[in-house]
Amino acid sequence: MAGGNAIRGSRVGAGPMGEAERGEAAPRLRISFWCSNGHETRPSFASDAQVPDTWDCPRCGFPAGQDQDNPPDPPRTEPYKTHLAYVRERRSDADGEAILAEALAKLRGEI
């Protein structure tokens, strides 16, 4: 059974809020950023805020700059290297042969 509530179905503060209740909005700047894929992103900044040189593109994740004709280069992704690849960067083949010969000599009991 319904009580005699005249504003049934609404809640306190559900009305439209205007500038009178919220206060005046801060002045904003919308700056365009372009990535190397040609995507444009337009984030808004406070007018007194420092605007960054680059911004991450929300569509592809590449860095975006303010110059449409010369966007920043996408980051280079290095391929996965195995432990053996790192060892080969530090040691030459001759060093590897010497270390292997020493290890085999220890196993055979020659040292």
Hey, what domains does the chain have and what are their CATH numbers? 28-65 (2.20.28.270), 77-110 (no CATH)
Q: Mean of the per-residue pLDDT values for the chain?
A: 85
The answer to whether the annotation marks 69 as part of a ligand binding site is no
Residue-wise pLDDT tens digits, 92-109: 889 989 988 999 999 998
**pLDDT tops 80 at residue 4:** no
The answer to whether the annotation marks 57 as part of a ligand binding site is yes
Q: What pTM was estimated for this model as a whole?
A: 0.55
Going from the C-alpha of 36 to that of each of 60, 65, 67, 70, the distances in angstroms are: 10, 9, 11, 8
pLDDT on residue 71: 93
Residue-wise pLDDT tens digits, 42-76: 999 999 999 999 999 999 999 999 999 999 999 88
pLDDT category of residue 12 using cuts at 50, 70 and 90: low
d(CA 91, CA 85): 10
**The token pair that represents 27 in the structure block:** 């002045």
Q: Are 62 and 75 in contact (CB under 8 A)?
A: yes
**Mean pLDDT over residues 31-41, rounded?**
95
pLDDT on residue 78: 85
